[in-house]
């Protein structure tokens, strides 16, 4: 067994703190000849981030159980769920471009929007408050910009039949 110690400077230091550093330890069975200390730290941090994504998938997308009794039906359920999760992760980088975010914030910013749907003369109009209209305009513009820069759906036209209240 091998122990790797990390000393990190505290982000917020108060007057009562005697130490200005936080100390962490990682215990691993990877030898020093296989991987250096810095690589061990990045490896385990990526592993912790992966476990956060698994937790987000289980609780955020309700993958605590599978609803069907057949293996192929559960496999199809899982594939649809993973596809939906990947779309939500894509949306997370539209909501917070620098760091991304977890599904709870994506749902709050993109899915749970208070709006009114009206059907008129050969059109359906969605009405938002001004604040939500600005957010929808920002997010749809970011999606359009991303798709056109990647040359995916270059003729993607975002229909602006939304009107603020």
The answer to whether the beta carbons of residues 165 and 115 sit under 8 Å apart is no
Predicted local confidence at residue 152, as pLDDT? 58
pLDDT for 111: 73
pTM: 0.52
77/80 Cα distance (integer angstroms): 5
**Residue ranges in the chain whose pLDDT is less than 50:** 154-165
**93 three-class SS:** helix
d(CA 88, CA 107): 9
Considering only the C-alpha atoms of the chain, give the largest distance between any 2 of them, rounded to a whole number of Å: 73
pLDDT, tens digit, 9 for 90 and up, residues 123-138: 888 788 888 888 878 8
Every domain of the chain and the residues it spans: 1-50
**Tokens encoding 149:** 């820069």
Question: What values do phi and psi take at 113, rounded to 5?
Answer: -95, 130
CB 6 within 8 A of CB 48: no
Supply the pLDDT for residue 160: 47
């Amino acid at each position: 067994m091998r122990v790797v110690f990390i000393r990190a400077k505290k982000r917020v230091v108060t007057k009562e703190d005697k130490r200005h550093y936080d100390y962490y330890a990682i215990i691993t069975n990877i030898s020093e000849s296989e991987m250096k200390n810095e690589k061990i730290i990045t490896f385990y941090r990526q592993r912790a981030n992966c476990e956060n994504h698994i937790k987000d998938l289980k609780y955020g997308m309700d993958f605590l159980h599978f609803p069907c009794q057949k293996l192929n039906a559960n496999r199809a359920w899982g594939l649809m769920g993973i596809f939906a999760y990947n779309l939500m992760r894509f949306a997370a980088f539209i909501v917070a471009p620098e760091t991304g975010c977890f599904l709870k914030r994506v749902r709050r910013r993109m899915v749970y929007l208070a709006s009114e749907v009206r059907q008129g003369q050969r059109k359906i109009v969605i009405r938002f408050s001004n604040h939500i209209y600005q957010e929808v305009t920002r997010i749809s513009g970011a999606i359009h910009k991303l798709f056109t820069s990647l040359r995916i759906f270059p003729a993607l036209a975002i229909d602006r039949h939304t009107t603020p209240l």
